[in-house]
Each structure stands twice: as structure tokens, then as C-alpha cells.
A = this chain, B = another copy of it.
Amino acid sequence: MTDVARNRRPGPRLEEVARAAGVSRSTVSRVINEEPYVSAKARDAVHQAIGALGYSPNQAARTLAGNRANCIALVVSEQGSRVLSDPFFAGVLRGVHAELAGRRVQLVLMMTQQDDEQDLVGYLAGGHVDGVLMVSLHGQDPLPLKLSEAGVPIVVGGRPLVGDGIRYVDSDNFNGALEAARYLVSTGRRRIASIAGPRDMAVGMDRLNGWRRGMAEAGLATDLVVHADFTPDDGAAAMADLLAREPDLDAVFVAADIMALGALRVLHNKGRRIPDDVAVVGFDDLMIASTALPPLTTVRQDVEQLGRTMTWCLLGQLAGEEGLPPSLLLPTSLVIRSSA
């Protein structure tokens, strides 16, 4: 602390750019913020000065003066802290980042804990961020609604189960599951089970309903359903359960690849040939789907695109754009491999 200069942020200031370009600070600011009503001559001079000096604006000062945070938060509602290793989250993050590239918007990552939710709402509503992207694996999460009520612009990844007006982007889980069901029917399967996701998650219910619709179209029964968590072990337990109830089932639609992994193991251990005896279709198209034994037929969702679209929606909202869709569903596609 003896050397004050060392504590000072290095680099030129807007002031110096103005001097070098022969204009006022106001004009430099306008150029930087790409405002209209700047002469081409002034603009060029400023750009050149910025380049020559290597100027980069102080974000804190911009935020303080502009009453804009230049920052959005990605909030992950953490269930047992396993979210981050989820490929879904990773894909969304990748998409968010890609969409933000080149914009002067920073991404701050926040995770909710059970106890600090009120703090988090206070923080996010307190102007530290301009808007919020949220990935909530748990549909009942009250946080999106609270933030929305607090006036924070928010876009949720995955349909929330509570809060009607909340903008979200999701994969079209219903139609993805419907397509999977139709495919199984088209290949001659008749006794088709489903390992569904949790009841408190929209993704679980939407995929279940899509499968149900497909069964109904074909006049097939929908009694063979077991709900399970999105883990291999739960998928395995569910598969064992289904086989005990109906040894003659000839297909199973598993609402997530990660559960399908467990289901494949159980089918293999019980001596069922895949797909000869039992056809298996998963959902998500994780990397592990293609390396499973046998390679898994599955419904592909593009989670990176989901992240990009969420970000696009939020930025549009922040820019005051008109006519943005309230919510969006992204198409899925069936990837046929060996398991069905």
C-alpha cells in the first residue's frame, strides 16, 4: 500500500482517448456505446485513438454511471450439488457463453443453497445484474416466480411448473417422446413400458405424456410405467421392477439416457437380448448414448441451442425488443442406433 500507483488499474482512461482523438469525453462515450448522432469523422478519430492506446473501458465505472450492470446471472438451483456435472447444465452453459460472445455482457454464475434464497432474491433484484437466466431442474422451485415478481427480467431453461407468466425455453419433450413411441410401434412392438422421470419435473411429465399419447394413438396400454430419478441406479431399479411386473414386455421408452444406462445393464443381466427381445429408446443423446452396449437409440435434444436461445430471449427483453415470443420449444430428433 506504500506504492499507490501499484494499486491503480493500469491502462489509459477515457480522458486520454478524448485528448488523442481531439474530442470531448462525451463523444468518446457515445462512440463506445454505439450511439447515433456522432459524425463519421469523430467516430473514426475515436476508434483510432482507442486502438493506438489500447483502451478498454472500466466496467465498474460504466455500471455505476449508467445504472446498468452489464452483467447477467446464470442461476443454477442446486439439488444436492450434482447439477454442475450434469451434461444438461454443461450444454446450456456452453450455449449461453457462445451467445454472449462479442457482447459486453459478463456472465456471473450463482448457485442457490437451501437457506440463502431470500439473500439471493435480494441480490438479484438489487440491480447487481440486468437479468437472470435460470436452470432449475426442479419444476416446483419458487425462485423464478419470486424473481419475476420482484421485477427481474428472467428466462428459465426448462418449463417451470409454477408461475404462469414466466418466460422459458425448453426442448419439445412431449413431441420427442411421442416420436419415440411411434417409432417403437412402427417396428412392431406391442408391450411397451416406460421408465418416466420424477413427477415434480416438467421434463419428466412432458416425456411421459408424449409416450402416453403415442400409445393411445396405437391403441396400446399405458399401464407399464415406473417413475425414477435421473440416475443409472434408479433406472436399473425401475427396469427390474417392470420386468417383474411384465416379463414379456418387448420395448421400453426410458425418459433419460442416464437411466437407460442402468436399464440396459439390468436387461443384459436378466438375459434379454437388445433389441431382439426388448427394444430400448432413451432421451437426451448424451455422449454415453453412442458408446453404450449396444449403442442407444435415443431422442436428441440440443441443449447448447437451448442455452443460446435462452440468452437471446433475455438480451432481447433487456433491449426492449417488441414481439418476443413468450416461451419457446425447440425441436428434438430421433437418433436411431442399435438398441431399437
Contacts and interface: CB of A to CB of B under 8 A. Distances in A.
Interface of A: 7-11, 54, 56, 58-61, 63-64, 67, 69, 81, 84-87, 89-91, 93-94, 97-98, 101, 106-109, 111, 113, 122-123, 125-128, 232-233, 261-262, 265, 268, 287-288, 290-291, 293
A171 to B, nearest CB: 16
7 contacts: A85-B87, A85-B287, A89-B90, A97-B109, A107-B108, A109-B109, A265-B293
A272 B136 CA distance: 44
A101 B122 contact: no
B97 A93 contact: no
Instruction: Give the dominant DSSP class at A's interface.
Output: helix
B261 A291 contact: yes
B59 A128 contact: yes
Given A11-B126, A81-B94, A85-B287, A60 B69 contact: yes
Contacts of A67: 7-9
A258 to B, nearest CB: 9
Contact of A127 (B11, B94, B113, B232): B11
Closest 10 CB pairs of A and B: A9-B127, A60-B63, A232-B291, A85-B90, A60-B64, A84-B90, A84-B94, A60-B60, A7-B67, A56-B126
A76 to B, nearest CB: 9
Contacts of A69: 60
Nearest to A56: B126
A129 to B, nearest CB: 10
A91 B87 contact: no
Contacts of A128: 56, 58-59
Contacts of A90: 84-86, 89-90
A91 B265 CA distance: 26
A38 B288 CA distance: 58
A111 B97 contact: yes
